[in-house]
Amino acid sequence: AQARGANNGAPKRVGYEDIGGLGKELQRIREMLELPLKYPAVFDRLGVEPPKGVLLYGPPGTGKTLIARVVAAETKAAFFIINGPEIINKFYGESESRLRSVFQEAQRKAPSVIFIDEIDALAPKRAESGGEVERRIVGQLLALMDGLESRGQVVIIGATNQPNALDPAIRRPGRFDREIALRVPDVRGRIEILQIHSHDAALANDVDIQRLAQLTPGFVGADLESLCREAAMIALRRVLPHIDYQRGYIPYETLVNLNITMAD
C-alpha cells in the first residue's frame, strides 16, 4: 500500500483522480471552468464572456462539494465556501455584508472558486420566501455576481438538491447559466468510486470490488466512502486487542499474522 494520503496532517490534496463515475460531467465542468480560470486572456481575444456561474444539482453525497474543491485545487485557485443555511441563520443580520466580504476576498485572491452549498436556502423562489430579508439577500447575491469583472478569474459553483426551488432570477444569462446534473452512480461508477476509496487500504485477496458494486445499487459516493471506512474500522477492531499500548505501536508480526499490511 502507498502512503498517498499521508502528508503530516495537512488537508489531503484532492485531484481529478479522486472523483469516480462522473467522466462526462467532469469533462464538461473542466471545459467550462478550467479555461477561464487558467487562461482568461483567451476570452478577451475571442470577445466572449466567460461563464460566471455553474449550478451542480443532484442528490446529497453525489460529489458536488468534492468537484468544486477539485476544480479549485487543479487550477490552483483560491477556494471559498459559502453555506446557504449558515449565511441565513448564523450570520443573521450580517448575511449581505458577509457575502460581500467573501466576494471581495475572492477577487483579491483571484483566480478563485466560490462554492455556494445549498444555494436554494440563499436564493429561494421569491414568491415562496416572501420576506423582506430573503429578498435583500438574493438581491445582494445577484448584484455581486453581476458586478464581477474578473474576466472569468472568479467562478461561482452553486450546489443544490432541489434546482426547482431556486429563484429563477439566479439562473438567467450571466449568472448561473450552466447546469450540470449529478446522478446516483451506476454499477460502473460504483466500481470506480469503490476503487478510489479503497486505494490506500491493503485489501484481503478475496475482496471483490465488482461484486460489491453489484450489491450496492442506490449507493452514492458518500455511501460508498462510508462503506469502505466501516470495513477498515472492522479490520482495525480485529487488531485492537493486540495493540501493545506500552510500546505504543502495533508489532509488525501482529499485522502479518492478522493479514493486515500498512503503508510504509
Binding residues for ligand ATP (CB under 6 A): 19-22, 60-66, 117, 159, 161, 193, 196, 221-222, 225
Q: What's the CA gap between 11 and 149, in Å, rounded?
A: 31
Pick 48 or 187: Cβ nearer ligand ATP: 187
Chain residue at closest Cβ approach to ligand ATP: 221
Per residue, the 3-state secondary structure of 171-192, as one string, reads: HCCCCEEEEEECCCCCHHHHHH
Q: Please, what is the minimum distance in Å from the beta carbon of residue 77 to ligand ATP? A: 17
- Which amino acid is residue 244, in one-letter code? D
**Secondary structure class of 156 (helix, strand, coil):** strand
Q: Please, what is the minimum distance in Å from the beta carbon of residue 203 to ligand ATP? A: 17
Neighbouring residues of 263: CB distance < 8 A, sequence distance ≥ 6: 1, 2, 3, 6, 200
Q: Please, what is the minimum distance in Å from the beta carbon of residue 175 to ligand ATP? A: 21
Pick 50 or 61: Cβ nearer ligand ATP: 61
Pick 44 or 230: Cβ nearer ligand ATP: 230
Residue 189: all three cell numbers together: 461508477
- What DSSP assignment string belongs to 182-243? -PPP-HHHHHHHHHHHHTTS---TT--HHHHHHT-TT--HHHHHHHHHHHHHHHHHHHGGG-
Pick 19 or 32: Cβ nearer ligand ATP: 19
Pick 14 or 260: Cβ nearer ligand ATP: 14
Q: Please, what is the minimum distance in Å from the beta carbon of residue 20 to ligand ATP? A: 4
Q: Please, what is the minimum distance in Å from the beta carbon of residue 25 to ligand ATP? A: 9
Pick 141 or 193: Cβ nearer ligand ATP: 193
Q: Please, what is the minimum distance in Å from the beta carbon of residue 225 to ligand ATP? A: 4
Q: What's the CA gap between 51 and 254, in Å, rounded?
A: 56
Q: What's the CA gap between 94 and 199, in Å, rounded?
A: 43
Neighbours of 74 (CB within 10 A): 17
Q: Please, what is the minimum distance in Å from the beta carbon of residue 35 to ligand ATP? A: 23
Pick 211 or 229: Cβ nearer ligand ATP: 229
